[in-house]
Amino acid sequence: MNFIPNLKTVSQNPQRLAAGHRLCPGCGIGVIVKQILTVTDQPIITVNATGCLEICTSAYPQTSWQIPWIHSLFQNSAAVASGIDAALKALERKGKLKQKPKIVVFAGDGGTYDIGLQALSGLAERNHEVVYVCLDNEGYMNTGYQRSSASPLGAATTTTPAGKKIPGKQTNRKNITAILAAHNIPYVAQASPHNHADLMLKAHKAFKAKGVAFLNVFSPCPTNWKSAPALGMEVAKAAVETNFWPLFEVENGKYRLDYEPKERKPIDEFLKGQKRFKHLFKPENAELKNRLQAEVDTRFAEIKQLSQM
Helices 29-37 and 196-208 meet at what angle, rounded to 10?
50
Range of the structural domain that residue 266 is part of = 16-307
CATH of the domain at 109: 3.40.50.970
Specify if 209 maps to a domain.
yes
The conformation of residue 251, written as its DSSP 8-state character, comes to E
**Would you place residue 13 in the very low, low, confident or very high pLDDT band (cuts 50, 70, 90)?**
confident
For residues 137-159, give the mean pLDDT: 97
The pairs formed by 297-302 with CB atoms below 8 angstroms and a separation of 24 or more are: 297/243, 299/175, 299/243, 299/246, 300/243, 300/246
Beta bridge partners of 239: none
pLDDT at 113: 98
Average of pLDDT values for 16-32?
93
Checking if the pLDDT of 209 tops 80, the result is: yes
Q: Are 65 and 124 in contact (CB under 8 A)?
A: no
| CB-based contacts of 139, cutoff 8 Å, min separation 6 | 109, 110, 145, 146, 147, 148, 150, 151, 155, 157, 221, 224
Among candidate residues 20, 132, 134, the one with its CA nearest the CA of residue 66: 20
256 class by beta-carbon count within 10 Å (0-12 exposed, 13-18 middle, 19+ buried): middle
At residue 2 the predicted structure's pLDDT band, cuts being 50, 70 and 90, is low
In this prediction, residue 20 carries a pLDDT of: 83
Residues with Cβ within 8 Å of 300's Cβ and at least 6 positions away in sequence, in order, are 243, 246
Answer yes or no: is 7 within a domain: no
* Residue 68 covered by a domain: yes
- The number of domains in the chain is 1
**Residue 5 located in a structural domain:** no
pLDDT digits (tens, 9 = 90+) for 268-284: 999 999 999 999 999 99
Q: Is 3 domain-assigned?
A: no
pLDDT at 1: 53
Q: How confident is the model at residue 257 (pLDDT cuts 50, 70, 90)?
A: very high
What mean pLDDT do residues 119-129 have? 98
Tallying the residues shown for the chain, one arrives at 309
Range of weakest confidence among 13-27, 66-80, 126-140, 191-205 = 13-27
30 inside domain: yes
Residue pLDDT, tens place only, 35-58? 999 999 899 999 999 999 999 999
* pLDDT band at 11; cut points 50, 70, 90: confident
Per-residue pLDDT, 6 = 76
